[in-house]
Structure 1
Amino acid sequence: MTGPGDSRDPLAPARPSASSAPPVLHDVMFGHVRSAALRAVAVHRIPDHLADGPRTAEELAALSGTDAAVLRRVLRLLAGRGLFHEDEQGRFRLEPAGQPLRTGVAHSQHPAVLMITDPMIARSAGELPRTLDGGRSSFELAYGSPFFEHLRKSPEDRAVFDAGMAAFSGPEDELVARGYAFPEGARVVDVGGGRGGLLRAVLDRGPSLEGVLFDRPATVAGHLLDEPGLAGRWRAEGGDFFEAVPPGGDFYLLKHILHDWNDEDALRILGSVRRAAAAGARLLVVDAVLPGGGVPHPAVELDIVMLMVVEGRERTAAEFEELLARAGFRLHRILPTPSLPSIVEAVAV
């Protein structure tokens, strides 16, 4: 009810009072709510139903088998973050920022969304207070076993993880390959290279390059290197990078490997590479490089994910330099790319 002389519209939303949470605090506090909403529309593939244009919540609900009233409320939240737009007729359209949520499009982030919002991550986040007390990784506290051991026992979770990582890494591979000039005739060893997406991109750009894809046997068995333009220029080898890696490389790649591990384990991996690499061979670590001075950066958020899930970490330039020196490498330079990771180039000494 308004009093005399109060001209404010009684139906207008109330302004936050001075005692309300500051916008930044509110934004962080409700982050998990937005993640849950994002997961809901991804699970039901709502963005796919908007590929041909705007639809009402009722139309979308009929197509997706969901509840229209609930769906409208979820889409309204995500529209406020710029992923969708609701027009005056109550129709929702997919905004440019939301286009990667569709399946079957180039560089779809649908599998990445499903991975990051998966219970594996959500349950781990709930255990972060205990990790902060100095305990084990949040994932291990939640699930009772280390992350990679859990994946070996759970094919379903492994499939979610592999698809999500492929969605994250796929768009990066070409940008990383384009960001470094490999000399003609060089042999490139991709250590922990998964199915070979990065090595394929590197070999595609250098017709005289040769490559070795190295990862666990079951992983390299599903490689992506059977292409006519690559015939005779590569081989796949299975093994454990904690024990040994293929010798004789001119360049060794470690893409999104070191950030999975604490310094002690990272040094074990780097030690395997250094034993295989001749003096003067180059090591290219493809990982995010943390900025200093509290600068906002996606790598800072990724650092907490690594802390929760695998006891890994992102590193600053200085931390990379120290870690590499301890393993027998000299940091030469850091090359930024248009994507999240940089190329940290080091030389075996």
Structure 2
Amino acid sequence: MTTTLPDKTLLLDDTASLRAAARFVREHDSAALLPLLLPGLGGPDLEALAGHCRFAHAGLLVFPPDADGLRAQLAACGLAVDTPAHPSVVVRERLARRHRRDPAELDVQILRPQVLGCGGERRAVEVFALTVPPHSGLEPIAAYERTRQHEAHLAFEIDRPEASALRGLCAILVRHGARPDGGGYNPHEDGTVLYFTLPADAACDYRRLELYARGDHQDTLAAHLDHDSRRDARQPAETLLHLLTGAWTTQALTTFARLGLPDVMDTRTACCTEDLARLTGAHPRSLAVLLRYLAMVGAVTPAPAPARTPARTPSPAHDTADAPEQAREQAPEQEGFRLTELGALLRADTPGSMRPLALMYGGPFYRSFSGLDHAVRTGQPAFDLIFGENHFDHFARDPELASLFDRSMAASSRMFQPLPAHPVIAAAAQAPAPATVVDIAGGNGELLGLLLTAHPRLRGVLLERPHAVGAARRRLAAAGCGERCDYRAGDFADVPSGGDVYVLSRVLHDWDDDRCREILRHCARAMPAHADLLVVERLLPVDGSPSLATAWDLHMLCNVGGRERRADHYARLFADAGLQLVGHSPLPLDAHVLHARRAPAPDPVTRRS
């Protein structure tokens, strides 16, 4: 009888994942980790979460052939288990639903090998182990789950899980973009699990968060699961109505930013609508209507405003107890509102302000989308139809609009945050001789400034159209790295030679394939043999799963005639230009960095044969 051993490559994949999870748990703490998972989190909301929740573990699903195989994997990772495994209820049920299997077919066990945190805290790697014996028919489940990592998550345990506190913590997570994503009660350990999907711009490879509360919290769990299913439970007409009114949200947020409301509001203290109207020159009652809508979308939150001195004191003849009910209701202009951390991102002076994005998406790009049907019918950008010229020429002729566009691009700079640690950049920074980074179409220098600031030995060259070079020069000078940077005014045909690392950030998606090949050929000709090319773009998912790349694909179609692409599409474009895709890795906001090098010259012997 022949025994087929499990695929060693797959077991190695599980081992690598276990090691990565253990390393993550050792290196992170609650207060620093939460803002990475929920961008924009701060102030009272961060204090509440950090005060009640502690980072407990990183969880993942592995697929050993048997118990001995699992123990060997854990031992290889230096993970010791001193407590027996017990059955997983929640993950087993999720797997059964996802793969349409009988839960009884799935043997899912939980183990929690201990890991010490960076400050000596006792934490764990939560290992869900689905036993996949050879020839069991479960191999497709293992292959699918390894690719999707649906069960990988970060868990925070709640101290003193009282019902009101638990509901409040869930509300904070939802307010900051986390989406309820199932949960359950595990009677084997008397614990309630609440899962959330993290927002797309979370600066972390983990996509799910778990709140764990000891005990059976039936009411909170029911509300959580109801929130999770509410969107699916809507009638189609209601769902469609919510979708059709999405434009109102864009304009409400743009008006919020344009009026300067975030700049006169506070995240801790409420302000009454009448005062906000006076500060911004708005009509009080109309402003109250806007603020109520913004509260619904999470930019502000209703809160009692500081007491105001009444205009007059009621006389006994006008006892308010006898007044009609509607007369005693608070006047709209007296309603109080407090800024949320989400709304604070629209302040003009906040680091990483998204105000320029609001003004762009609610301004020129909002207008251009009114011609989307033209773009879909003809394949030509709607922007050209609406404004009478292409996107780039239109902005180049209007310095104020060009500046707004550059600032809106910089507003998405959180996608760049991991780039200074990219192996190509790190290697260039450690090279014996100072290395040069060439940023092609580098805008106002946001990315190049980040790289030069992180690595003082690097030098930079920024290539841009003439109208943008001045803004980049000022920005890099203000960042303290202007003396290490050269500036070239030109087009893609003017890519300077002699660099060590070349960067194309959010450039190729502006163009069709032919123009992309041309741009890449200019890069390849300029690159020395040792040089690297880093391309930052959003990649369309191969499985059609939700992604910001899909939304930006529509945006590119409408406004510039470009497109988002899959990784294999970029690989073909690189090959056509004499380049070779080395690999790619994820960045925040559903972006990726693709690493390419010049393709090796064909072997003369091979070519003759």
Same fold (TM over 0.5): yes
Name 1:112's counterpart in structure 2.
357
Give the Cα–Cα distance (whole angstroms) in 2 for the partners of residues 84 and 228 of structure 1: 32
1:174-206 deviations in Å (ceiling 9; x for gaps): 432234423323321111112322222212222
TM-superposed CA distance for 1:279, in Å, is: 3.1
Instruction: Give yes or no for the alignment of 1:329 onto 2:579.
Output: yes
Secondary structure at 1:80 match in 2: helix
Contact 2:416 2:587 in 1 (8 A): no
Give the Cα–Cα distance (whole angstroms) in 2 for the partners of residues 135 and 299 of structure 1: 19
Change (3 A) 1:174 1:42: same
Secondary structure at 2:497 match in 1: coil
Instruction: Give yes or no for the alignment of 1:175 onto 2:391.
Output: no
Q: Which amino acid aligns with 1:71?
A: L
Q: Which amino acid aligns with 1:160?
A: L
1:129-168 deviations in Å (ceiling 9; x for gaps): 1111124201011112111111222333223222322322
Question: Which segment is superposed worse, 228-237 or 324-333?
Answer: 228-237
Secondary structure at 1:225 match in 2: helix
Give the Cα–Cα distance (whole angstroms) in 2 for the partners of residues 328 and 197 of structure 1: 29
* Identical counterparts, % of pairs: 35
**Alignment of structure 1 residues 131-170 onto 2, 5 Å:** 131-169=375-413
Give the Cα–Cα distance (whole angstroms) in 1 for the partners of residues 301 and 478 of structure 2: 42
TM-superposed CA distance for 1:270, in Å, is: 0.8
State the structure with more CA Rg: 2
Name 2:367's counterpart in structure 1.
123
Name 2:435's counterpart in structure 1.
186
Instruction: Give yes or no for the alignment of 1:236 onto 2:487.
Output: yes
Instruction: Give yes or no for the alignment of 1:247 onto 2:247.
Output: no
Give the Cα–Cα distance (whole angstroms) in 2 for the partners of residues 19 and 162 of structure 1: 40
CA RMSD of aligned residues (A): 2.3
Give the Cα–Cα distance (whole angstroms) in 2 for the partners of residues 251 and 20 of structure 1: 53
Give the Cα–Cα distance (whole angstroms) in 2 for the partners of residues 100 and 334 of structure 1: 30
Change (3 A) 1:250 1:159: closer
- Aligned partner (choices 331, 337, 343) of residue 98 of structure 1: 343
Secondary structure at 1:293 match in 2: coil
TM-superposed CA distance for 1:238, in Å, is: 1.8
Secondary structure at 1:347 match in 2: strand
- Tell me which stretches of 4 or more aligned residues in structure 1 moved more than 6 Å: none
Instruction: Give yes or no for the alignment of 1:258 onto 2:508.
Output: yes
TM-superposed CA distance for 1:36, in Å, is: 1.0
Q: Which amino acid aligns with 1:199?
A: L
TM-superposed CA distance for 1:66, in Å, is: 0.6
Name 1:61's counterpart in structure 2.
277
Question: Which segment is superposed worse, 175-184 or 90-99?
Answer: 175-184
Q: Which amino acid aligns with 2:470?
A: A
Question: Which segment is superposed worse, 49-58 or 314-323?
Answer: 49-58
Change (3 A) 1:59 1:233: closer
Q: Which amino acid aligns with 1:177?
A: P
> Given the two structures, how large is their TM-score scaled by the length of structure 1?
0.87
Change (3 A) 1:67 1:251: same
Q: Which amino acid aligns with 1:162?
A: D
Name 2:457's counterpart in structure 1.
208
Report the count of equivalent residues.
329
Give the Cα–Cα distance (whole angstroms) in 1 for the partners of residues 443 and 347 of structure 2: 25
Instruction: Give yes or no for the alignment of 1:195 onto 2:410.
Output: no
TM-superposed CA distance for 1:53, in Å, is: 1.9
Give the Cα–Cα distance (whole angstroms) in 1 for the partners of residues 344 and 361 of structure 2: 18
TM-superposed CA distance for 1:230, in Å, is: 3.9
TM-superposed CA distance for 1:341, in Å, is: 2.4
Give the Cα–Cα distance (whole angstroms) in 2 for the partners of residues 275 and 175 of structure 1: 28
Name 1:290's counterpart in structure 2.
540
Name 1:4's counterpart in structure 2.
none
Name 1:271's counterpart in structure 2.
521
TM-superposed CA distance for 1:208, in Å, is: 2.7
Q: Which amino acid aligns with 2:295?
A: A
1:55-112 deviations in Å (ceiling 9; x for gaps): 1222211211111111111111121111111136731111122110112111111112
Secondary structure at 1:194 match in 2: coil
TM-superposed CA distance for 1:217, in Å, is: 3.1
Give the Cα–Cα distance (whole angstroms) in 1 for the partners of residues 359 and 236 of structure 2: 30
Q: Which amino acid aligns with 1:324?
A: F
Contact 1:85 1:92 in 2 (8 A): yes
Give the Cα–Cα distance (whole angstroms) in 2 for the partners of residues 251 and 187 of structure 1: 6
Name 2:24's counterpart in structure 1.
none
1:107-131 deviations in Å (ceiling 9; x for gaps): 111112111111x112211110111
TM-superposed CA distance for 1:22, in Å, is: 4.0
TM-superposed CA distance for 1:211, in Å, is: 2.0
Q: Which amino acid aligns with 2:439?
A: D
TM-superposed CA distance for 1:26, in Å, is: 2.4
Change (3 A) 1:229 1:107: closer
Q: Which amino acid aligns with 1:96?
A: E
Name 2:468's counterpart in structure 1.
219
TM-superposed CA distance for 1:19, in Å, is: 10
Contact 2:381 2:561 in 1 (8 A): yes
Contact 1:182 1:206 in 2 (8 A): no
1:316-346 deviations in Å (ceiling 9; x for gaps): 1121111111111111111212344221101
Give the Cα–Cα distance (whole angstroms) in 2 for the partners of residues 307 and 125 of structure 1: 10
Contact 1:244 1:273 in 2 (8 A): no
Change (3 A) 1:271 1:309: same
Change (3 A) 1:161 1:237: same
1:6-46 deviations in Å (ceiling 9; x for gaps): xxxxxxxxxxxx99644432222111011111111111011
**What are the ranges of 5 or more consecutive residues in structure 1 without an aligned counterpart?**
1-17
Contact 1:190 1:213 in 2 (8 A): yes
Give the Cα–Cα distance (whole angstroms) in 1 for the partners of residues 304 and 459 of structure 2: 58
Change (3 A) 1:254 1:38: same
Q: Which amino acid aligns with 2:490?
A: G
Instruction: Give yes or no for the alignment of 1:348 onto 2:593.
Output: no
Secondary structure at 2:494 match in 1: coil
TM-superposed CA distance for 1:300, in Å, is: 1.8
Name 1:82's counterpart in structure 2.
298
More relative contact order, 1 or 2 (CA 8 Å, 6+ apart): 1
Change (3 A) 1:106 1:311: same
Give the Cα–Cα distance (whole angstroms) in 1 for the partners of residues 481 and 345 of structure 2: 30
> Given the two structures, how large is their TM-score scaled by the length of structure 2?
0.51
